Each structure stands twice: as C-alpha cells, then as structure tokens.
Amino acid sequence: WVVSSAHLGEQLLAAPQSTAGLIDPTANQFSLDPDSIEKQVLTLNLRLREDELSIPAGTNPRPRPFTVVPGEPARFIAARLAAEGFIADADLFNLYLRVTGLERNIEAGNFMLADTMTMPEVAEALQTALFEEALVTIPEGMRSEEIAERLSDANIIENDRFLAAVRTPRSLTIFDDYDFLQNLPADATLEGFLFPDTYRFPVLAATPEQVIRPFLDNFEDRIGNKGLVGGGSGLSGRDLITLASIVEREAVQADERPIIAGVYINRLNNKCPEVGGPYLQADPTVQYARGTVGNWWWKPQSVEEYKFVQSPYNTYLSPGLPPGPIANPGQSAIEATRDPAQTGYCFFVATGDDGRHVFVQTYAEQQQNLQTYGYNP
C-alpha cells in the first residue's frame, strides 16, 4: 500500500516536543476578578504537576486512530483518551486544556495518536483533524477515465475534476517536481504515468494535486527517469510507456509480456515484411479509440471491424506508435517493454485458454491459427 505521509505523520511531527513556556507566571497576576482568580488557581495547580505533562502514557510509538465526534465535551474526550491508553490522567489532561484554552479549538474528526505522545502533544494534535481517508486499488491497465470513476465512487474527487487535471498536467502546481514529465509534448496528458497500486487518499480532496501526487511519487520511486532509458527495445521516455501500455492491455500471463513486446518491436523496426510496414495492428489501441462510458474497452464482432475505426490510435491504419499511452501500465509491463524477448515472431493470437497466446513468424501460420482458434475473418 502507498500511504501519504502527510496524513499519517503531520500530527506527530507538528506537536510540541516539550512543556517549556507552557505557563506564563506573570499572566493576570494583578487581576482580582473571579474569572482571573479561578484561572490563577488552575494555573497554579497545573504548575505543581507540570512535570507529569511530559510523561507519555505508554511505550508503543505506532500511531492509532482516535475519533472526536461533533459537540463532544472536552472532559468526555479526556476520559476516552485515558481509557484508550493515550494519556495517563484524564483530570490532568482536562486541566491542561482549560488553562491553555486548547479545549475551545478541539476539532471533530479523525486523528492518529501514539502512546508515546506527551499530553501537550496530544492536545496540539487534537487541534487539527486528519482528513477522512479511503483505500483505493488501481489495477494495472486502467485508462484514466476508469481511474476517475473509481476515485469518484470512493468520494475522493469528482470525475471531471480529476480528468481535467490529468489532461492538462502543466496546469498542476506539482508538475515541475518530476523530472520524468519535463520532456512530455505540450499537449500530452498523464495517461501512462498514473502508477497502478493501492493508495490511501483523503476523502473529498481539496485539490487535484492531493490525489495525483501519490501516483507520480510512486512512478518516480518505481520507474523514474532511469527506468525510461536504456534496455534492448530502443525506446525511451513516453514512447516506452506508450508501448508498455499496449503490452499491459494485450498480455494476461506475465511470462508472455516480453514476448508480446518483442513482436511489437519487430514490427516497429520493419522486421516483419508480411505486415506491409511498421503497423502494430494492436487490438487494444482501437478499443481505446472507440471506448465510451460504460464500455471503455470496446470489442468488435469480428477482427475486420478494427480496420474501419477512423482514429490516429487505430494501429491497423496508422503506422508506428499511437499518439500516446492507452492505459497505465505496471512495473512488469514497463520492464518487459524496456527489455523485450529477442525472437523472430511477427504474429500472435489468443488461444482462449487462460489468456495465453501462440506466436508465429509467418502470415500463413497466423491464418492457420486464426482458423484453429475460431476467429471470424
């Protein structure tokens, strides 16, 4: 899982580390009104126990969740904190809140607290609730519209708002933080760079950057600029991700990814004369072009239908790579494309058996396989 440190660590890191300066000995020393007298008495009582404030309730540094419900009185919160082992003395904690005035600013919401936090640290943490969070799994091979739907269903971010950010990445305040994005064409989107994984996102994210940054951080950690160059494919940068996205959509079995990538590299390098040029003839690219809401990966009734879809993404009609990635590939597909299998294969077809394919060198062999596995011409 990828967990944003901004949500798990902000309270522990922001909390004060000592009680120095906690109580002002000169505050209201000349005031004789009842409220001030009460405040001075409470302050004196707290000063007598000030050393206890810095003693944690336990030794487990691992944060645990704690929730404050709307309208909950501070004394009830203190009692629950003590019952759950976050503080050692509810009365002392409540006294501290009253003297410092922090009881007035406790937020309702979710918090991450640890047994090793001191009372001032716990009180400070309760001033700022964590975002409510949700785990969302993004499988390999999803296109950005599918990711947007999944995030919207989890109440992370509105569908249109996410897609607008993905399609105009240079408008994001975080764009310049990632070296691997700097050579993208001016009209490029983030398709292909939304790294698949399980993420913890804030519910109702305030900005698209809060949602997109974890994807890009993960891509940088797993792939980065170094993973986009070198290898035996001859491709780099966005071109590598574009072909990897096709391999991701085409391959079902992991061991076939380098072989499928090798077939496409052979075609791009004009090593398959029977194809008639550097045509990938990759079904997923046409499915991407024809995809619509509810049917993002259009499937034709026959193979021939692929040839009539007018789109630059139709690699039956357009030579070379499509204009950009068609999905968001995982690490295995990217690595397989970077270092494809070296074979003489130019054709393959799915057998219908656990997603496997058969690979051949000649068009005649391909035609025989199409007949064998029941494909309509």
Instruction: Give the end of a domain, one of 62, 97, 125.
Output: 125
Of the listed ranges 190-199, 258-267, 352-361, the one predicted with least confidence: 352-361
Q: How many helices and strands (H and E) does the chain possess?
A: 15, 7
Provide the b/e sequence for 172-202 (b: ≥16 CB within 10 Å).
bebbeebebbeebeeebbbbbbbbbbebbbb
Total domains in the fold of the chain: 3
Q: Do residue 27 and residue 76 come from a single domain? A: yes
**Is residue 116 assigned to a domain?**
yes
Instruction: Give the end of a domain, one of 80, 106, 125.
Output: 125
Write out the residue range of the structural domain in which residue 192 sits. 136-222
Tell me the percentage of the chain whose pLDDT exceeds 90: 75
129 neighbors 10 (Cβ within 8 angstroms):
no
**Is residue 131 assigned to a domain?**
no
Q: Do residue 119 and residue 143 come from a single domain? A: no
**Is residue 228 assigned to a domain?**
no
Rounded average pLDDT over 362-375:
94
Q: Do residue 353 and residue 241 come from a single domain? A: yes
Higher pLDDT, 15 or 77: 77
Rounded average pLDDT over 286-314:
90
Q: Do residue 241 and residue 368 come from a single domain? A: yes
**Is residue 182 assigned to a domain?**
yes
Q: What global pTM score does this model have?
A: 0.69
Q: Do residue 71 and residue 158 come from a single domain? A: no
**Is residue 229 assigned to a domain?**
no
Q: Do residue 12 and residue 101 come from a single domain? A: yes
pLDDT digits (tens, 9 = 90+) for 171-223: 999 999 999 999 999 999 999 999 999 999 988 788 999 999 999 999 999 99
Tell me the percentage of the chain whose pLDDT exceeds 70: 90
Rounded average pLDDT over 66-95:
95
Alpha carbon distance, N-terminus to C-terminus of the chain = 45
pLDDT band at 133 (very low <50, low <70, confident <90, very high): confident
**Is residue 241 assigned to a domain?**
yes
| pLDDT on residue 375 | 84
Provide the b/e sequence for 247-277 (b: ≥16 CB within 10 Å).
bbbbbeeeebbbbbbbbbbbbbeeebeebee
**Is residue 231 assigned to a domain?**
no
Is 228's pLDDT higher than 60?
yes
Of the listed ranges 7-21, 237-251, 322-336, the one predicted with least confidence: 7-21
pLDDT band at 374 (very low <50, low <70, confident <90, very high): confident
| pLDDT on residue 306 | 87
Q: What CATH code is carried by the domain that includes residue 95?
A: 3.30.1490.480
Rounded average pLDDT over 134-145:
97
121 neighbors 86 (Cβ within 8 angstroms):
no
Higher pLDDT, 259 or 295: 259
Q: Do residue 218 and residue 249 come from a single domain? A: no
Q: Do residue 120 and residue 183 come from a single domain? A: no
pLDDT band at 14 (very low <50, low <70, confident <90, very high): very low
